[in-house]
Chains A and B, each alone.
Chain A
Amino acid sequence: QVQLQESGPGLVKPSQTLSLTCTVSGGSISSGGYYWSWIRQHPGKGLEWIGYIYYSGSTYYNPSLKSRVTISVDTSKNQFSLKLSSVTAADTAVYYCARVNPDFESDWFDPWGQGTLVTVSS
């Protein structure tokens, strides 16, 4: 079955750019039919959708993060990536990648990666 795995630095300095990669195994991003998404969870808080990308490169972002977020896809490596610029301590969170299953009346995230904690600190 499809599995997702996040990777990237666990510590980022304030004002720098957070960069994470999600590697997909057991299925091909370029086969289409799904969106590929990033979600984060601040410590002890709820889930926040960051954005998603289609294999063609089409993207949608959370309006509250749109000015700082870039999601890209590399179909040759079966990976998609997140860049979040100008980070502050408020961006400290567990970051998850997940596949979005779109339907006319519903969307659902499944499967999810295990998540990776990113701490913003000098």
Chain B
Amino acid sequence: EADIYQTPRYLVIGTGKKITLECSQTMGHDKMYWYQQDPGMELHLIHYSYGVNSTEKGDLSSESTVSRIRTEHFPLTLESARPSHTSQYLCASSELQGGSGYTFGSGTRLTVV
């Protein structure tokens, strides 16, 4: 069973709204990640964290921001949503030493109208 949870599962929101996508994991993993994936396309890393108070930008430029105040929680925020932000957002976590791969959440499918 998945031990990493994302909410909401689906979100439809108007342009200009501020939104926060939640991600929590109960595995005690130090590393957490946010990926963006359009239908039928590859995953793009947009943010990652190696632990509390650590956040880094990923390979794909994103207007979103993240925070890591607690080990288990890694929320992603869009201050002003735009239609170009419509996508699926996947959160993942892994042990610091790697080697065991990632565990992904079920994703948030965001539509900005």
Q: Do A and B come from one complex?
A: no
Residues of A bordering B, CB below 8 Å: none
